[in-house]
Amino acid sequence: MASLKDKYCIVGVGETEYSKHSGRSTRAMAVEAARKAMVDAGLAARDVDGMMSYQGGDSTPANWVAPDLGIRLNFYMDVVGGGSSTEALVGLAMGAIEAGMCKTVAIFRSMNGYSDFRIGGTGARAAQPVRGLDLAQVPFGMRSAGQAFAPTFMRHMYEYGTTSEQVARVRVAHSNHASQNPKALLKERVTVQDLLDCCVETDNATCVIVTSAERARDLKQKPAYIMGVAGRVNKPRTDFHWATGPITRVAGYYAKDIVFGQAGITPEDVSVTGSYDAFTFTTMLQLEEYGFCKKGEGGQYVSSGIIELGGRRPNNTSGSHLCEGYTHGMSMVIENVRQLRGLADDYCPGWAEGKHSYDYSPGKCRQVKDCRITMNLGWAMPPTGSALIMHN
């Protein structure tokens, strides 16, 4: 993979509205998001010949979406998965192009995650039989993601003295960022005292387009060059993950050497992070495990101001899953692409031309000044994660 550094880029991004009731099919939303990404990149239907998606029985396959866009596919793949899928599929898209199977790949995620197929044990998901990894969770009362992930954070609190108030600063920071984001579902700034730890649930579709750096030079937008990628890296077990390795250890422990080794950089070189925020503590656990602070110091790191706009290394500058909308990780990659372009869509009058005030007071700017390198930290559950490093 080291030889592929800077050889591939993300050249287009697109998304639908983040809402609580789309009133639309996942197929219709996927088509909209993909079309917007193609327009963003300056690509016509004839220019896209690969398509990938991820879902958990809650979406529409790629070979149904492509014809609606006038695309004939040379390669397509739909995978089962959620939170750690975006980065993994970016890597697979690079491999497909490298192997000569296609030239340009659109990757989408479309979900009615609030009005239909909800993440926890409610809605359409409540009727599903217990199977697969659920056998390691449901019998112990771990029906929802919050229940399944909580023991990892609780052990962190026990071992290192991490507090709920410290990780609540993640929600505070992300709500501040969302208040600068016209697309965000929740724009209200919150306080530590509110102790809001959980992500929103939304209906939406998102899309990114991957192609070679050679082709990217002729396209509409400044490319986001891919320096390194790690996809769906696991702890020794993904079911009873606490049985092997510390309970507080998450998959980033294993992914960090892969992705930083490919990129040839260290955490200190990263300008902006996008750490998966299904909950406030998932952000903290990953930032710590990838080496942005020492083990056990994650609570101090996220509560120090470093992750806020204007801080040393802002995290989730769109407000992400806690505030913008829940996309199973895709929106965080989209946001970092826009940051690298200097085109974060905020309330600055000239943002579309890259003119930003860098005034991070309420209702103003969210573009990070001199953003050079971004990193996405994907998460499916404590034992599975992924990562992506890009630069402009």
Residue with tokens 């422990």: 253
DSSP labels for 165-211? HHHHHHHHHHHHHHTT-TT-S------GGG---B----EEEEEEEEE
Q: CA-to-CA distance for 328 and 341, rounded, in angstroms?
A: 23
Is 5 in contact with 228 (CB distance < 8 Å)?
Answer: yes
Q: Which two tokens stand for residue 195?
A: 């102790």
* Number of Cβ atoms within 10 Å of the Cβ of 191: 12
Residues 6+ apart with CB under 8 A from 198: 146, 278, 279, 322
Residue from 253, 254, 290, 326 carrying the catalytic annotation: 326
- For 224, phi then psi, to 5°, come to -100, 105
- For 143, phi then psi, to 5°, come to -85, -35
Q: CA-to-CA distance for 103 and 243, rounded, in angstroms?
A: 43
Does the annotation mark 326 as catalytic?
Answer: yes
Residue from 54, 76, 225, 276 carrying the catalytic annotation: 276
Using alpha carbons only, give the angle 87, 179, 312 rounded to the nearest 5 degrees: 60
Residue of 375, 332, 352 whose CA lies nearest to 40: 352
- Residue 227: helix, strand or coil by DSSP? strand
Which residues are designated catalytic? 276, 326
